[in-house]
Structure 1
């Protein structure tokens, strides 16, 4: 059986949703397998805090857990069995395991009173998860009373196009056992972000494990990230740079017409609001168009004459640009 999720996250039962979220993020960061390679204790701790947040981070599950309708593994508590006897029965100290499962203390070990059509092994397997609950995932068997535990978690990496990371999308991933799963890429996906797919791990008697998918954002041939900013290079003709004009410019949402001011130069940046990267809430940042003044492939005599006149009569020193 999993530990009390409040204890696992180190928060009180009156903790706010924000406090629960902060506690989880701190513990998950400290114990994430990627930052603790080969550390089995940290990996198990990461699984436990993830399972605890799965309960407390969901308002409906938290409400049910607080009301005693589900246990720390998110499963409904057993109901409809007769009360117990002895020191942990109705008149005793109130052992919640015995009361919730409908066990009673007779002359020997705990026995069921009303299990017609019910497999005791299944009940124990669900209650105790093979002795480890969520924390015991990854094992092959054994556990409490010899019952099987939940299936192992699986991990995979998924390469994602930059535009899918910005706009969101779907990708299909294949596991080594031949299964394929459709993965929803959230808007604002980040490089290294891990997505959790519940119930998509290895099968087990008490239920399958989870799949953890690490995202790897691929470089794009047109757009590039500079920190939190998205940049695109835009070629501009000499006459548009001198006289001003309009140039078709690519964006993640399709091409737009960009107005080039008179006297523009290579390195100048123009802002396109709301056309850039997405944050974790799906809000779009800005795209910056970096102008690149470009000569024609073949310079004609007239342009050569203009350039020669400028060199003789109007020399100038180009400003240094980064």
Structure 2
């Protein structure tokens, strides 16, 4: 609490107790007044809301033994809250505390700087609850789910906005029904903080703990999630740029909560969720696609068509002898980039082996195997195993092809 408030405000009078009231008397008086002036009991009553904050502020000082002692010492030093300068003389017409502070601020050191040591505030962060300056609006975060295709090419989606009207459930307090927000202990309800650096420079900004509201909600309203604002039917169109990734946060400057006292509005953050595609995948700025080909196409070579995400199909060449798993690149058919260029489409070849063969097909393959005269593709494998000392590799040769009394084993596909 600033020096000015401690000198001008009579917290005992606000709570209706004497200056020598015991802590239990203060607590009882606060609870009674807080219940009478709570926003839930007085919806739309600005005077009751002001009174509620005033009572909470008084209780915050008087219920704390250390703050209460500092408050009492200050009032004794300056006349018990009736501190006034006489008119004329050296005060330059400062007839009230407002005049004193106004004149002091124009002369370099402020009044609270002069008496800062009294309240242990010199050289540290101080708070002020004098006339509130402009407050920046709160940031708002929303979520949207878009299709995979829209994430690649961009899309405009509607998002429901939060209105400036008070939430009907909590009446604008942000607290769950039946609970009471408490005064922020950092800024003492002012919503503003003044940070000093070496006692020379001072910067006033919204309190980081209560985000400029002056109150802290421990049990937020489930309807508005503690914002105190109600939902409206108004929606705005948000452009999701091309190339957005799943989980990316998009910032829309100035589209958040409205500012107060001429303050700038907050920002809107949209978290984008992207639904998976049944065919295409994504790797950075490239799209991925797995294309099945027949054994003959892979062995002899072929020219095949493959689909693209947002355009007509393209033709690609499969070179003769293409192995399973080889990746081919189709340039410019991937994800759009900010500079206007696009990534590539990465096509992975998957050789399809027929599960059943006709007698004619089987004979043809036997003839192919005999004509091809291919060397045993596993010979090098076992050679490496033998050099590494694998016992099972030594029997390779006689046992291969089921000859020489070798052991036959059946295998199953891994799942």
Give the structure-1-normalised TM-score.
0.48
Asked which structure has the greater RCO (Cα within 8 Å, sep 6+), the reply is: 2
The structure that has the greater radius of gyration is: 2
